[in-house]
Chain A
Amino acid sequence: MTTSFWLTVGLFFVLLALVSWALALYLRAVLDPNGKTWLDPVLRPLERWTYRLCGVDPRKEENWKGYLASLLVFNLVGLLLTYLILRIQQWLPLNPKGFGPLSPDLAFNTAVSFATNTNWQNYAGESTVSYFSQMVGLASHNFTSAATGIAIAAAFLRALARTRAKTIGNFWVDLVRITYYLLLPLAFGMAIVLVSQGVPQNFAPYSRAQLVEPVSTTGGDGKERRIEVQEIVQGPIASQEAIKQLGTNGGGYTNANSAHPFENPTPLSNLLEILAVLCIPGALAVYLGLAVGRRSHGWAVWGVMAILLLGGILVCWHAEAEGNPLLVELGLSPSEGNREGKESRFGILDSALFAVTTTATSCGAVNSLHDSYMPLGGLIPLFNMELGEVVFGGVGSGLYGMLVFVVLGVFLFGLMIGRTPEYLGKKIGASEVKMAALSILALTLSILGLSAWAIASPWGLAGIANAGPHGLSEVLYAFSSTTGNNGSAFAGLSGNTPWYNTTLGIAMLAGRYLMLVPVLGLAGLLAAQKTVAASQAAFPVSGGLFIVLLLATVFIVGALNFFPVLALGPILEHFLLHAGQTF
Chain B
Amino acid sequence: MKPKQFSFADPQLLAFSLRGAILKANPFVLWRNPVIFVTEIGAMVSTLEIFLSPESKFFTVQISLWLWFTVLFATFAEAIAESRGKAQADSLRQARTVTMARRQREGREESVSASELRKGDLVICVAGDLVPADGEVIEGAATVDESAVTGESAPVVRESGGDRSAVTGGTKVISDRIVVRITSDPGQTFLDRMIQLVEGAKRQKTPNEIALGILLAALTFIFLLVILTLVPFLLYLHAPVSIPTLAALVVCLIPTTIGGLLSAIGIAGIDRLVQHNVMATSGRAVEAAGDIDVLLLDKTGTITLGNRMATEFVPAAGVDLLRLVDAAQLASLADETPEGRSIVILAKQQHGLRGREVLENQARFVPFSAQTRMSGVDFPESDGAPARMIRKGSGDAIEAFLRKQGGELPESVQQAVDRIARDGGTPLVVAEGKEALGVIHLKDVVKGGIKQRFARLRQMGIRTIMITGDNPQTAAAIAMEAGVDDFLAQATPEAKLARIRREQEGGHLVAMTGDGTNDAPALAQADVGVAMNTGTQAAREAGNMVDLDSNPTKLIEVVEIGKQLLVTRGALTTFSIANDVAKYFAIIPAMLMGTFPVIAPLNIMKLRSPESAIISAVIFNALVIVALIPLALRGIRLRGLTAQVLLVRNALIYGFGGLAAPFVGIKGIDLLLSLLPWK
Contacts and interface: CB of A to CB of B under 8 A. Distances in A.
Interface of A: 408, 411-421, 425, 428-430, 432-434, 437-438, 440-441, 444-445, 448-449, 451-453, 455-456, 468-469, 471-472, 530-533, 535-540, 545, 548-549, 552, 556-557, 560-565, 567-568, 571-572, 575-576, 578-579
Interface residues of B, number: 72
Interface in B564-592: 564, 566-567, 569-571, 573-574, 577-578, 580-581, 584, 588-589, 592
A468 B598 CA distance: 14
Interface in B194-243: 207-208, 210-212, 214-215, 218-219, 221-223, 225-237, 239
A417 B651 contact: no
Interface stretch (B287-295, B349-357, B366-374): B287-295
Contacts of B580: 556, 560
Nearest to B226: A561
Interface stretch (B144-152, B339-347, B492-500, B640-648): B640-648
Nearest to A579: B598
A430 B211 contact: yes
A416 B651 contact: yes
Contacts of A575: 596, 598-599, 601-602
A416 to B, nearest CB: 4
19 contacts: A408-B215, A412-B570, A416-B574, A416-B651, A417-B567, A417-B646, A420-B290, A425-B507, A433-B212, A434-B214, A438-B218, A444-B222, A448-B226, A449-B229, A451-B233, A456-B235, A545-B651, A564-B226, A567-B599
B508 interface: yes
Contact of A411 (B211, B571, B596): B211
Contact of A564 (B211, B570, B584, B601): B584
B44 interface: no
Given A419-B566, A535-B461, A540 B225 contact: no
B655 interface: yes
B509 interface: yes
A419 B592 CA distance: 43
A552 B569 CA distance: 18
Interface string B78-94: 00000000000000000
A564 B588 contact: yes
Given A417-B647, A571-B602, A575-B601, A564 B290 contact: no
Contacts of B638: 418
Q: Which one of B231, B233, B562, B598 has the greatest number of beta carbons of chain A within 10 Å?
A: B233
Given A416-B651, A418-B646, A567-B599, 17 more contacts: A408-B215, A412-B570, A415-B573, A418-B566, A419-B563, A428-B211, A432-B211, A434-B214, A437-B214, A437-B215, A471-B236, A533-B293, A549-B651, A564-B584, A567-B592, A568-B237, A575-B601
Contacts of A437: 214-215, 218-219
A568 B214 CA distance: 30
Contact of B643 (A444, A448, A539, A567): A539
A430 B214 contact: yes
B504 to A, nearest CB: 8
B592 A413 contact: no
Contact of A412 (B293, B461, B574): B574
Contacts of A472: 233, 236-237
Nearest to B207: A429
Contact of A578 (B234, B291, B507, B598): B598
A58 B521 CA distance: 45
B455 interface: no
Q: Which one of B222, B223, B584 has the greatest number of beta carbons of chain A within 10 Å?
A: B222
A233 B578 CA distance: 54
B462 A576 contact: no
B663 interface: no
A570 to B, nearest CB: 12
Nearest to B567: A418
A540 B648 CA distance: 11
Contacts of B227: 564
Lowest 4 CB-CB distances: which A-B pairs, in order?
Answer: A537-B461, A415-B570, A418-B563, A437-B218
Contacts of A430: 207, 210-211, 214
A238 to B, nearest CB: 43
Interface of B: 207-208, 210-212, 214-215, 218-219, 221-223, 225-237, 239, 287, 290-291, 293, 460-462, 505-509, 562-564, 566-567, 569-571, 573-574, 577-578, 580-581, 584, 588-589, 592, 596, 598-599, 601-602, 638, 642-644, 646-648, 650-651, 654-655
A560 B571 contact: no
A418 B460 CA distance: 10
A452 B589 CA distance: 20
Contacts of B570: 412-417
Contacts of B460: 418, 537
Contacts of A548: 651
Given A412-B577, A440-B222, A540-B647, A565 B230 contact: yes
Contacts of A536: 461, 642-644
Given A419-B290, A430-B207, A533 B507 contact: yes
Nearest to A540: B644
Query: Which label, helix, strand, loop or mixed, suits the secondary structure of the A interface?
Result: helix
Nearest to A468: B237
Contact of B567 (A416, A449, A471, A576): A416
Q: Which one of A434, A438, A560 has the greatest number of beta carbons of chain B within 10 Å?
A: A560
A451 B231 CA distance: 12
Nearest to A450: B229
B509 A532 contact: yes
Nearest to B581: A560
Nearest to B504: A530
Contact of A455 (B232, B508, B646): B232
Contact of A440 (B218, B236, B566, B578): B218
A138 B614 CA distance: 51
B235 A419 contact: no
A408 B218 CA distance: 12
B211 A567 contact: no
Nearest to A549: B651
B225 A448 contact: yes
Q: Which one of B287, B462, B570, B642 has the greatest number of beta carbons of chain A within 10 Å?
A: B570
Contacts of B601: 575
B214 A416 contact: no
Contacts of A453: 232
Given A415-B208, A537-B643, A420 B287 contact: yes
A416 B646 contact: yes
Contacts of B654: 416
Q: Which one of A408, A421, A537, A545 has the greatest number of beta carbons of chain B within 10 Å?
A: A537
B229 A452 contact: yes
A448 B278 CA distance: 50
Contacts of B234: 568
A545 B647 contact: yes
A421 B227 CA distance: 30
Given A530-B507, A556-B577, A411 B215 contact: yes
A410 to B, nearest CB: 11
Nearest to B249: A564
A533 B506 contact: yes
B602 A567 contact: yes
Nearest to B218: A437
A419 B644 CA distance: 12
Q: Which one of A531, A540, A568, A579 has the greatest number of beta carbons of chain B within 10 Å?
A: A568
A453 B505 CA distance: 53
Contacts of B567: 415-418
Nearest to B460: A537
B293 A416 contact: no
A556 B598 contact: no
Given A418-B646, A429-B208, A437-B215, A449 B225 contact: yes
Nearest to B654: A416
A416 B291 contact: no
A420 B290 CA distance: 7
Contacts of B293: 533, 535, 537
Contacts of B651: 413, 416, 545, 548-549
